[in-house]
């Protein structure tokens, strides 16, 4: 039973390119959360999705960022026209229900570097 | 002011020492989480608690809801415990986590 799988582990993009980060939740988990960790800063919530629905996107930057969690396949965090300030570690977490009794399972993260 | 504060920010201990990391929060919460992050690594969920105390191996987490305070204790610390320990909370109306800035622990031989 694999855990939360994120890929790629490391991603390098030039300024202006698009970045696509993938998150496959644990089997049986239908709730996905994306968090961002900027260099030397704490983790910050970005977006919470259930299958085919965005439940809470209060942490998403207003422009260039979007997220989806389709009926089939992984959740995708998409960053268009990346800038240097987007360089960060992006973590995905999943849970089987909205407020699990035992916590969340995190992936290993995607480290995005914008050059 | 951050909604969740951790102390200390950095902690160095010798192998075998008893370690305490503190977390204070300022809002009503439904659950308090302790997480571990190794350098360059992923995040591991250690504990989720809403009252009392939980123990797993050498790790103990406690929470005092009235005082809005939680502690993570590590007994008989070991160099492999070296990591960043992060406190986070979820509230009754939202399942997202709000995080502290973490405590960087270094355990030396």
Chain A contact set for B42 (CB, 8 A): 91, 106-109
Which of B97, B94, B75 is closest to B86 using CA atoms?
Answer: B97
CB-closest option in B45, B48, B96 to A45: B96
DSSP code at position A26? P
Which of A3, A5, A39 is closest to A109 using CA atoms?
Answer: A5
Residues 50-109 of chain B with CB under 8 A from chain A are: 86, 88, 90, 94-102
DSSP code at position A61? -
pLDDT-derived band at A33, boundaries 50, 70, 90: very high
Chain B contact set for A45 (CB, 8 A): 96-98
| B46, B59 contact by CB (below 8 A) | yes
pLDDT tens sequence across B100-109: 999 999 999 9
pLDDT tens sequence across B4-57: 999 999 999 999 999 999 999 998 888 999 999 998 788 999 999 999 999 999
> Looking at chain B, which residue has its C-alpha nearest residue A47?
B96
pLDDT-derived band at B93, boundaries 50, 70, 90: low
Asked whether the beta carbons of residue A99 and residue B30 sit closer than 8 angstroms, the reply is yes
Q: From residue A99, how far is each of A62, A86, A94, A104, B30 by CA, in Å?
A: 26, 29, 11, 9, 9
């Amino acid at each position: 039973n694999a855990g939360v799988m994120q890929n790629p582990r490391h991603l390098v993009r030039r300024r202006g390119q698009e970045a696509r980060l993938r998150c496959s939740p644990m089997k049986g988990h239908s709730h996905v959360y994306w968090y961002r960790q900027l260099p030397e800063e704490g983790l910050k919530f970005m977006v919470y999705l259930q299958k085919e629905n965005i439940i809470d996107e209060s942490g998403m930057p207003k422009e260039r960022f979007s997220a989806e969690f389709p009926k089939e396949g992984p959740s995708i965090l998409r960053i268009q026209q990346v800038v240097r300030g987007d360089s960060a570690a992006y973590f995905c977490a999943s849970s089987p229900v909205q407020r699990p009794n035992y916590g969340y399972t995190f992936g290993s993260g995607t480290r995005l570097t914008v050059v | 002011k951050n909604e969740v504060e951790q102390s200390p920010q950095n902690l160095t201990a010798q192998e075998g020492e008893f370690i305490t990391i503190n977390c204070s929060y300022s809002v009503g919460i439904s659950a308090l989480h302790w997480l571990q992050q190794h350098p360059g690594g992923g995040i591991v969920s250690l504990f989720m608690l809403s009252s009392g105390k939980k123990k797993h191996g050498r790790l103990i987490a406690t929470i005092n809801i009235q005082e809005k305070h939680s502690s993570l204790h590590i007994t008989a610390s070991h160099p492999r415990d070296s990591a960043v320990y992060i406190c986070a909370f979820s509230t009754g109306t939202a399942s997202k986590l709000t995080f502290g800035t973490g405590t960087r622990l270094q355990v030396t031989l």
